[in-house]
A and B are shown apart, each in its own frame.
Chain A
Amino acid sequence: MDNNNYDVIVIGGGPAGLTAGIYLARGKMKTLILNEGTAGGQMVLTHEVANYPGVESISGYQLSNIMKNQAKNFGCVIKSNLKITGLNLESEVKTVEVNNKDIYTAQAVILATGGRSRTLHVPGEDKFKGKGISYCATCDGDFFQDKDIIVVGGGNSALEEAVSLTKYASSVTIVHQFDNFQAFQHAVEEAERNEKISFIMESKIIEFIGEESLEKVVIENQKTKETFEKEINGVFIFIGYEPNTEKFKGIVELNKWNEIVTKNNLETNIPGVFAAGDSIQKRYRQITTAVADGTVAALGAMEYINNLHALVQA
């Protein structure tokens, strides 16, 4: 059990969590990173990172491996692809349960669980993932050579990816729930200029239908609530990101977008619980900002622990 006692547990192993791990382990804090997915987080999903200062160009996978090794070399323990099944953050000794069996304790915890692509959550979406439904144009675009596809969304990603998918598809229909786009005007204009692109506005896909692979979708007009079926070969979904904070609901303070609310030093409403990266309330979500947050949260956690020790000694 002693082996499971740490100074700091970092929940999430993306750039924010790994950076916190580097700072904490280097500061001689016994540190554990618990990560539900692959270490590196969204960074491993990035083909090329060209805006990380000091490195002209690098794949996200490589940058993740460097950060992971850096943290490990300072003595940080990293456990990935696991499930957090229990949390007790309020008491002075914080506990985290993993895979319904292992309990880890720490004096401070950093929440760095990042975000993920939003899904539509409509019938058929799971069944046809990889069989007509995709969330990545660069990965799967070439499967739709000369096919008719739909792009769902109205932000920059949706409009830019719709244009890029016209390299392959014979037609691209953009389905968007509102009557105007959230994307930059130049992205909207480029999509509007493209002859292969058409638009179905104020509408949502409410069902995916097919046998072995996707054959058609049911589209609902948001104003009239009228529905119709459209035959289609593929659907690409780009409807933004949501923070991975479900597990913290009712425990730490979240805002209305479910982002973690933090003070300037990135401490949450619970003493000794800090948060960093894409899961917190902030405007810009990049590797550089996640790395900066990881640093601030780690230094805050160290200060918190040092103050606890000073109190005990006094």
Chain B
Amino acid sequence: MLHTNLKHVASEQEFNELLQNNENVMVCCGRMGPMCVPVYGVMEEIESEYKHVAFRDLEFDGPHAHVIRSLPECKNFSGLPFTVYFKNGKVVKATSSIQSMEQVTDILNENFGK
């Protein structure tokens, strides 16, 4: 399990329900490593500001990570974490490796509004 203060995606069913029940979703799939922890930190920091977005993390080495790892949008990724943004169940943006607060909020504002 990832030791963050975010809600975790713990099963494939939970992932599917997450996409079904939320218009805007951001999932960060990673490990507890140097490139991933700062992205979880950004998500924790802005979670209360972006109430219209569901923020989750997902363990990269866990049995359910294929829901993110096998997305075509992540095909060319070779840097953790894989961060994917969904609107109405569809991928609108995916990034690989560390991202700053500014990069994350730019994507959220552009795709989900402030």
Interface residues of A (CB under 8 A from B): 37-39, 44-47, 59, 61-62, 80-83, 129-136, 138-140, 143-144, 212-213, 234
Tell me the number of A-to-B contacts counted with CB atoms below 8 Å. 84
Whether B37 pairs with A81 at a CB distance below 8 angstroms is no
Among A83, A132, A140, the most chain B Cβ lie within 10 Å of the Cβ of A140
What residues of chain B lie closer than 8 Å to A83, measured between beta carbons? 102
What residues of chain B lie closer than 8 Å to A132, measured between beta carbons? 78
**A-facing residues in B34-57 (Cβ within 8 Å):** 34-38, 41-42, 45-46
- 10 further A-B pairs in the complex, CB-CB below 8 A; given A37-B41, A135-B35: A44-B41, A83-B102, A130-B98, A131-B78, A133-B79, A139-B36, A140-B79, A143-B77, A213-B78, A234-B78
Q: Chain B: how many interface residues by the 8 Å CB criterion?
A: 26
Main secondary structure of the interface of B (DSSP, over half): loop
Whether B3 pairs with A61 at a CB distance below 8 angstroms is yes
Whether A140 pairs with B37 at a CB distance below 8 angstroms is no
* Chain A minimum-CB-distance residue to B36: A139
Whether B76 pairs with A131 at a CB distance below 8 angstroms is yes
Interface residues of B (CB under 8 A from A): 3, 31-38, 41-42, 45-46, 75-80, 95-98, 100-102
Whether B42 pairs with A81 at a CB distance below 8 angstroms is yes
What residues of chain B lie closer than 8 Å to A59, measured between beta carbons? 3, 32
Question: What's the minimum C-beta distance from B36 to chain A, rounded to whole angstroms?
Answer: 7
Question: What's the minimum C-beta distance from A57 to chain B, rounded to whole angstroms?
Answer: 14
Whether B46 pairs with A45 at a CB distance below 8 angstroms is no
* Chain B minimum-CB-distance residue to A59: B32
Residue in B37, B76, B97, B101 whose CB lies within 8 Å of A129: B97
